[in-house]
Structure 1
Amino acid sequence: MKNLSRLLLAMLLVLGYSNSDAQDKNNPWQITIGANAVDAYPSGDGGLFSETIFDEFANVDDHYNILPSLSTISVSKYVGNGFSFGVAGSLNKIDKWGDISSNPDVTNSVDDWSYYGVDGTIKYNFLEGTTLDPFAGIGGGYTWIDEIGAGTVNGTIGLNVWFNNNIGLTIQSSYKHAFEDYLQTHFQHTAGISIKFGGIDTDGDDIYDKDDACPDVPGLEAFNGCPDTDGDGIEDSKDDCPNEAGSAEFNGCPDTDGDGVVDKDDKCPTVAGLKALAGCPDADGDGVTDADDKCPNEAGPAANQGCPYPDTDGDGVLDKDDKCPDVKGTVANSGCPEVTAEVQKTLNEYAKTILFDTGKSTIKSQSAAVLADIIKILNEYPTAKFTVEGHTDSIGSESLNQRLSDSRANSVKEYLIKNGIDAFRLSALGYGESKPIDSNKTSKGRANNRRVEINLAK
C-alpha cells in the first residue's frame, strides 16, 4: 500500500502540468468507478471530537479494509455554480474494525464482515476548469455491516485530476457519522477513474455547443469555436478575405504590393500604385495608369491616351485645337492660315478673268485654268468662307443685269463646289450694275465692270 500511495502522488505531480475541464455545464454527468477502503479507527467512545480522531488517519496496514477490485461506483449531475449532486454505492470486506477498547494498541480483528453503503452527496468544486480540481461535500446515506444497517451523515473532501476533457482520477475521503450505537463512526476512502460526459460538440472542435459561437463549423478556442480558415488571426466572420491571409489593418485582406490598396480591390496587385487609380502606377503623374498610357514617361491627357498632344504643323496650336493641323496658321485663326490682303488681291485678279458666254451665265471652257488656280488658293485656307459676287455693266435693263449677276455668281459657286470646295464655305450674291469699278461710257470700262469677285466673308 505504501508503493500505491507513492504512485498516486507521482501521478498527481506529473498531471498537474496539463490543463483540462472539470465536471461543468458542458459535461454535466460524471461517473466514477474504483476501489474503496474502510477505516473504523478510532473506535469505542473516541467520537467525532476526540483527540485521537486523525492521529492514525494514514495507518493503512493496521486499520484500512481495502477491496482492491471494483468496489465503488458513483454517478453525479452538475447543477450549476460549481455544485453537483451524486449518488454512490460501495461494498467491502471487513477484517479489522478499529482497536480493542481495552487495549488501543491492538487492532480489533473480525471475521470477514460484509460492508455495503449507499450515499448521496452535494458536492462543491472549488476550481472549475482546471486540471487539479479539489472539492468538498456533505450528505448522508445508509450503511450495512454484516447485514445490520444504520443511517449516516457524511462529510467529504477530495480531488479530481483531469487527464483530458473527459477522463480523470478521483480520490476522496468521507467521514461517516452513524446515528445508531451499533454502527461505529468510520472513514471511507475511495480512488477511481472518473468519466464526465453529456456535453454536445456538433462540429467536433473540442468546444461544446453551449460555449461555441459557431457550433456547426469547426473552429478555434480563441474565437469561441469560430473558424479562421486562412490562419491570419482574424476569425472568418470578421475577415473580408477569409480564404487569403491578410492583416488586421485591412480586415484580414492581403496587400501584396504594400500600396495601401488590398489585393481584391487592386487592379495591379503586384505593383505598387495609387489609391486614386485602384492601385495601379502612374509614372508620369498624368492621371493615366501606365498600363493604359501610350506615353508612360510623358504626361498627357487621358483623351490622348496619356500622350502629350502634338503640333504637327508647328504653328503653336496643338493638333487637338488646330482646325488646320497640317497647315501652319495662326493662334488667332485656330491654327489655320489667314487670308491676307495680298492673297485677296490675287484671288480677285484670277476671278476677273473668268469668261462667260455673252448675255449668259455659262462659263467658257478656257476659264478652266484660272478656276483651277482659284481652287488651289481656296484649299490653302480650309476654314475661310468666301462670297462669290457677280457684277455687270449698265447695258440693258437694271433688272435684267441683276438677274444675270446672280446667275453668274451662282454658276461660279456651283463650279467650285463640284470641284471640291465645301458648300458651307461659299455663298453667292449678285450686285447687277450697282458697283461699277470703271466708266460704263467706254467699251473698256464696261468690260472692266463685267466681272466676278471672290471676297473673304466678313
Structure 2
Amino acid sequence: MLLKPNSKVVLLLVLITSFNPTTAQNRTKSKNSFTLGTNVIDDSFTLKNMLFNMEEEWNVLPYPSYLAYNRKVTDHIYFETALSLNQYQKGKLVDGLFLTKEQRYFALDVGCKYNLNALNYGNEIIPGIEPFVALGTGITSIDNLPRPTVNYGIGLYVWFADLVHCDCNTHTNFITDFGLLFQTHGKSSFEQNKYGNQIQHVFGLVYRY
C-alpha cells in the first residue's frame, strides 16, 4: 500500500530529527585528532616573571610551527605526541642573557591530557569547551644541544559545532570535526644546574575523526 502524502512528510521529519543525535554521538566518539598551529617559547629564565614581555622574551615563527597527534585512551584521557619548531632571535632574553646570535629550537614531546569535564560527571561545564591538565616528557634541542625535560601545563579545546550551536545535519556536520586549541606548558630541564626552564604557549587548529 502506498503512503499518503502527509504520511511521507511525517516519516521524513522523523528520519531527519533522529539523524541529529546520532551525528552528535559519533562526534563525541572521535578517537583521534591532529593539531596544526603556532608555538611561542619564553626561555628568559629570570626571577622577574614578566610572562607577557613579548618584545624581549617571546620567540615565534611567522608560519605554522607546531604539529601534534592525540589519541583518546579513555573518555577523558588522551595520549599526545607533539613536534615543535622555533627560532630564538638575536637580542632576545634567553637563560638570563640577551642573545648575540640566532639559535634554532626543536622539541619532540609525549604526554597525557586529562579532560577536566570528568570532574563534572563527564558533562561539559561550558558547552563546546574541554579544559584539561597535561603531564609529559620530551627532548628539546636548542642550538643543537639536546636536553630532556618534564612537561606540565593547562589548556582547553573549543569545538566549533557547540560554539555556534550547530544542529549537525548532513549539510553542516563538516564543522563538527574542527576546533581550536589553547595551551600553556612549563618545560623543566632535568639538569637544573645547567639549563633553565621554558614556557611554551600554543594556539592551533584541531581536526578530529
Tell me whether the two structures share a fold, i.e. TM-score over 0.5: yes
1:41 corresponds to 2:44: yes
- Do 1:85 and 1:123's aligned partners in 2 also have CA atoms closer than 8 Å? yes
Give the CA deviation at 1:61.
Answer: 1.8
- Determine which structure has the larger strand proportion and give its number: 2
Residue type at the aligned position of 1:71: S
- What do residues 314-359 of structure 1 show as CA deviations (whole Å, max 9, x unaligned)? xxxxxxxxxxxxxxxxxxxxxxxxxxxxxxxxxxxxxxxxxxxxxx
Give 1:110 deviation, angstroms: 3.8
Query: How far did residue 25 of structure 1 move?
Result: 5.9
Deviation at 1:99, TM superposition (A): 6.6
RMSD: 2.4
TM value normalised by structure 2: 0.71
Aligned to 2:150: 153
C-alpha deviation, 1:56, in angstroms: 1.2
Comparing 120-129 with 172-181, which one deviates more in the overlay? 120-129
Helix, strand or coil: the match of 2:102? strand
Q: Structure 1 stretches (4+) deviating beyond 4 angstroms?
A: none
SS in 2 for 1:62: helix
Task: Deviation per CA, 1:53-86: give whole Å up to 9, x if none.
Answer: xx31122222100113110000010011310101
d(CA) in 2 for partners of 1:74, 1:157: 16
The letter of the residue matching 2:104 is S
Whole-Å separation in 2 of the counterparts to 1:81 and 1:147: 39
Matched, 1:195 2:202: no
Contact 2:184 2:201 in 1 (8 A): yes
Sort the Cα spacing of 1:195 and 1:151 in 2 relative to 1 into closer, same or farther, 3 A.
same
Aligned to 1:179: 190
Corresponding residue to 2:77 among 70, 80, 83 = 83
Cα contact 1:24–1:80 (8 A) shared by 2: no
Give the direction of change, closer, same or farther, for the CA distance of 1:24–1:184 in structure 2 (3 Å limit).
farther
Q: Kindly provide the amino acid, as one letter, of the partner of residue 192 in structure 1.
A: G
Written as runs of structure 1 = structure 2, the 5 A alignment for 1:51-90 is 52=48, 55-90=49-84
The answer for the alignment partner of 2:110 in structure 1 is: 120
Contact persistence 1:25–1:78 (CA under 8 A): no
Q: TM-score, normalised by structure 1?
A: 0.34
In structure 2, the gaps of 5 or more residues are 1-22, 162-175
Matches within 5 A, 1:243-254: none
Q: Whose relative contact order is higher, 1 or 2, with alpha carbons under 8 Å and at least 6 apart?
A: 2
**SS state of the match for residue 61, structure 1?**
helix
Deviations 1:262-288 (A, max 9, x none): xxxxxxxxxxxxxxxxxxxxxxxxxxx
Which whole-Å CA distance do the structure 2 matches of 1:76 and 1:24 have between them? Answer: 15
Q: 2:88 & 2:42 partners in 1: Cα distance?
A: 9
**2:154 alignment partner AA:** I
